[in-house]
Structure 1
Amino acid sequence: MTDMTGWSVERLHADHAQALREDKVLYDSETGHQRLRVIENPTFGRVLTLDGVVQVTEGDEFIYHEMLTHVPILAHGNAKRILIIGGGDGGMAREALRHDNVEHVTMVEIDAGVVDFSKKYLPNISAGAFDDPRLNLVIEDGAKFMKDSDETFDVIIVDSTDPVGPGEVLFTDTFYGHAKTRLAGGGILVTQNGVPFLQGEELTNTMRAFQALFDDWGCYMATIPTYAGGPMAFGWGTDGPGRDEPLEVLSARFHKAGIETKYYTPEVHKAAFALPGYVKKLLP
Structure 2
Amino acid sequence: MQGLHLTADLYDCRGADGLMTDAAVLAGLCRRHTTEVGLTLVDEKWYTFAPYNGQPGGVTGMLLLAESHLAVHTWPERRAVTLDVYVCNFTTDNSDKANALLREIVAAFQPGRCELHRLERGREQRPPAETILEPLNDAGDAVYGFVSDERVLFQRTPFQTIEIVRTPRFGLAMRIDGHFMTSEGEEFFYHEALVHPAAVAHGAPRQVLIIGGGDGGAAEEVLKHRSVERVVLAELDAEVIAVAKAHLQRVHRGVFDDPRLQVRIGDGLEYVATTPDRFDLILLDLTDPETPAGSLYTEAFFRSLTRIMNPAAAVVLHTGTPVFEPEQVRSINAALRKVFEQVHPFGLYVPLYGAYWGLSVASHRLDPRAIDAATLRARAAALPDLRYYNEDVHHALFALPNYYRALVGAMPASVAAEAAKTACFESAAI
Which TM class, normalised by the smaller chain length?
A: over 0.9
Counting matched residue pairs gives 282
Decide which of 374, 378, 382 is 1:248's aligned counterpart: 374
Q: How large is the RMSD of aligned CA atoms in angstroms?
A: 1.5
Paired residue type of 1:263: Y
State the partner residue of 1:221: 347
State the partner residue of 1:10: 134
Output aligned runs, 1:50-199, within 5 Å.
Answer: 50-199=176-325
Paired residue type of 2:327: E
CA distance in 2, matches of 1:233, 1:10: 18
Following TM superposition, by how much is the alpha carbon of 1:218 offset from its aligned partner in structure 2, in angstroms? 2.3
State the partner residue of 2:398: 273
CA distance in 2, matches of 1:21, 1:132: 34
Distance 1:4 1:192, change over 3 A: farther
The SS at the match of 1:151 is coil
CA distance in 2, matches of 1:2, 1:186: 57
Paired residue type of 2:192: E
State the partner residue of 2:160: 34
State the partner residue of 2:105: none
CA distance in 1, matches of 2:271, 2:331: 22
Which protein has greater RCO, CA pairs closer than 8 Å, 6+ apart? 1
Contact 1:210-1:218 at 8 Å conserved across structures? no
Paired residue type of 2:345: C
1:130-169 deviation line (CA, Å, top 9, x unaligned)? 0100001000111221222221100101001110121111
Paired residue type of 2:359: F
Paired residue type of 1:33: F
CA distance in 2, matches of 1:37, 1:213: 36
Following TM superposition, by how much is the alpha carbon of 1:61 offset from its aligned partner in structure 2, in angstroms? 0.5
Runs (4+) of structure 1 exceeding 4 A deviation are 1-5
Distance 1:3 1:245, change over 3 A: farther
Q: Structure 1 unaligned runs (5+)?
A: none
Q: Is the radius of gyration larger for structure 1 or structure 2?
A: 2
CA distance in 1, matches of 2:333, 2:324: 16
Contact 1:48-1:54 at 8 Å conserved across structures? yes
1:1-42 deviation line (CA, Å, top 9, x unaligned)? 977652222235221222221111110111111111000010
Q: Structure 2 unaligned runs (5+)?
A: 1-91, 97-129, 410-430
State the partner residue of 2:330: 204
Decide which of 236, 260, 264 is 2:389's aligned counterpart: 264
Q: Bigger shift: 217-226 or 13-22?
A: 13-22
